[in-house]
Structure 1
Amino acid sequence: MCARIASPCVGLCSTTLGDPVCRGCQRTDDEIVVWMALSAEQRDLRIAQLDTLRERVAARFLKVTDEARLEAQLRQHRIRFRPEQPPLSRAVELLRVGRDRIRELHRYGLAPQESAVGLSPADLHARLNEQLLVEANERRCADQVSIPHR
Structure 2
Amino acid sequence: MSDLLRRVATPCIGVCSTGIGDDVCRGCKRFCHEVIHWNSYSQEQKRIIDERLDQFLVQVMQDKLHIINAELLAWQLGVQRVRYPAQKDPYIWLFQLLRAGAGQITEPRKYGFVVDSVWRDSSLMELREAIDREFYLLSQAHYERYIGRYMQKEG
Would the TM-score normalized by the shorter structure come out above 0.5? Answer: yes
2:134 is aligned with 1:131? yes
For 2:76, what is the secondary structure of its paired residue? helix
- Give unpaired runs (5+ residues) of structure 1: none
Task: Check the 8 A contact 1:60/1:115 in 2, yes or no.
Answer: no
RMSD: 2.1
Report matched runs for 1:107-126 at 5 Å.
Answer: 107-126=110-129
2:15 is aligned with 1:12? yes
Task: Check the 8 A contact 1:6/1:44 in 2, yes or no.
Answer: no
Q: Deviations over 1:107-126 (max 9, x none)?
A: 21111112211211101111
Cα distance in 2 for partners of 1:14, 1:103 equals 32
Aligned to 1:149: 154
The alpha-carbon deviation at position 76 of structure 1 amounts to 2.6
Instruction: Give identity over the alignment, percent.
Output: 28
The alpha-carbon deviation at position 61 of structure 1 amounts to 0.4
Amino acid across the alignment from 2:24: V
Structure number with higher helix proportion: 2
For 2:103, what is the secondary structure of its paired residue? coil
Aligned to 1:72: 75
TM-score by structure 1 length? 0.86
Cα distance in 2 for partners of 1:9, 1:101 equals 25
The alpha-carbon deviation at position 18 of structure 1 amounts to 4.7
2:32 is aligned with 1:22? no
Count, aligned residues: 148
